[in-house]
Amino acid sequence: MDEDGRGVDRAGRRSKRFLTPLQKYEIWLALLRQEVTTAEAAATHRVDRSTVVRIREVAKLGALAALSESRPGVRV
């Protein structure tokens, strides 16, 4: 086990850390508010920086898709 309490795989890499949707949302909000940098968010949640970048990308794409589906004046 490493310092995070996670094991290692056969190649000697750290095991993957899975984030809950709430954790991903909190990371995205902190980035949006510019409270933390990508590197700080990754260090805080013990994930790779590419994971944080991907969270930001997915949130942006999801928001754009939702906004493109909405129509002004149409009630659902």
pLDDT of 4 reads 55
- The pTM of this model reads 0.73
pLDDT in tens, 5-62: 556 667 777 677 899 999 999 999 999 999 999 999 999 999 999 999 999 999 999 9
CA nearest to 15, candidates 46, 54, 57: 46
Please list, residue by residue across 41-50, b when 16 or more beta carbons sit within 10 angstroms of its beta carbon and e when fewer do: bbeebebeee
- Determine the pLDDT at residue 16: 78
* Predicted local confidence at residue 53, as pLDDT: 97
Which pLDDT value is given to residue 75?
Answer: 64
| 17 vs 44: CA distance, rounded Å | 13
Q: What are phi and psi of 49, to 5 degrees?
A: -60, -35
Asked whether the predicted pLDDT for residue 1 surpasses 70, the reply is no
- Please report, for the chain, the start and end positions of each structural domain, with discontinuous segments joined by +: 21-69
Is the pLDDT reported for residue 66 higher than 70? yes
